[in-house]
Amino acid sequence: MEQNGLSARGSATYRRLLEVAARELAENGDVEVATIARRAGVSVGLPYRYFGTKSGMLRAVVTDFHDRLDEAVIAREFVGDTWAERERARVVAWVDHLYGDPLAPVLLGRLGDADSDGVATQRLHAAIRCGARNVARGQRDGDLHAGRDPELLVAAVLGGVHTAVTVALSRIPRPAPADVAAQLWAFVAGAAGVAERTS
């Protein structure tokens, strides 16, 4: 089966190069095309065929990271009778996902590559739009304070969660993910006005 115009073999090669580039970025904070080709066991010119440039390779790695985050957390529907139950589960899944992804410490800290940072910014804005719809739903259902701007609230929460997880991932030893999730949920619940609506 072809994917994005690639044959099955081409798709497998693309995925292998992407996985090698992701490992290299996680281990060293950067990628070099020649190193990726050598580690993947292909000619030096082959990565250029799939990614065009080093920036194109980084952009693909960042896009794949955000695709996985979206699937595991951002776009996922969590089970619960109230907004608070669903979103507490989302926060736990969010922390667990980022703790389990070796790229998180590098990508949450930003790369300094304009193309890659552009992808991250676009995905952040998409996540804010998705989250704002989620908050608006919670407000309509009466689970959240109706006087808060959903988009501003979600922007603050996303920024806070990612920054807090970045700090947690940089600590030695790292705090337990459950402890981080509990503290982040307290922040999210307070910002969203959950305590005000349930007290």
Q: Which of 11, 96, 103, 133 is nearest to 2 (CA)?
A: 11
| pLDDT computed for residue 79 by the predictor | 96
36-61 burial: b if 16+ Cβ within 10 Å, else e: bbeebebeeebbeebbeebbbbbbbb
pLDDT of residue 196: 52
Share of the chain above pLDDT 70, in %: 94
Q: Which two tokens stand for residue 13?
A: 């090669």
CA distances to 2, 65, 96, 175 from 8, rounded to whole Å, are 6, 22, 32, 42
C-beta separation of 52 from 58 below 8 A: no
Q: For residue range 168-186, what is the model confidence (pLDDT) as tens digits?
A: 999 999 999 999 999 999 9
* Strand, coil or helix: 172: coil
- Dihedral sign (CA 134, 140, 142, 147): positive
Sequence-distant contacts of 115-119: CB under 8 A, at least 24 apart: 115/55, 115/56, 115/58, 115/59, 116/55, 116/58, 116/59, 116/61, 116/62, 118/59, 119/59, 119/62, 119/63, 119/66
The torsion angles phi and psi of 143, rounded to 5 degrees, stand at -85, -20
pLDDT, one tens digit per residue, over 77-126 is: 999 999 999 999 999 999 999 999 999 999 987 666 777 888 988 999 99
Distance CA 138, CA 153 (A): 13
> What's the whole-number mean pLDDT along residues 154-178?
95
Q: How confident is the model at residue 4 (pLDDT cuts 50, 70, 90)?
A: low
Q: What is the pLDDT of residue 168?
A: 96
**pTM score of the predicted model:** 0.90
| DSSP letters spanning 6-75 | B-HHHHHHHHHHHHHHHHHHHHHSS--HHHHHHHHTS-TTHHHHHHSSHHHHHHHHHHHHHHHHIIIIIS
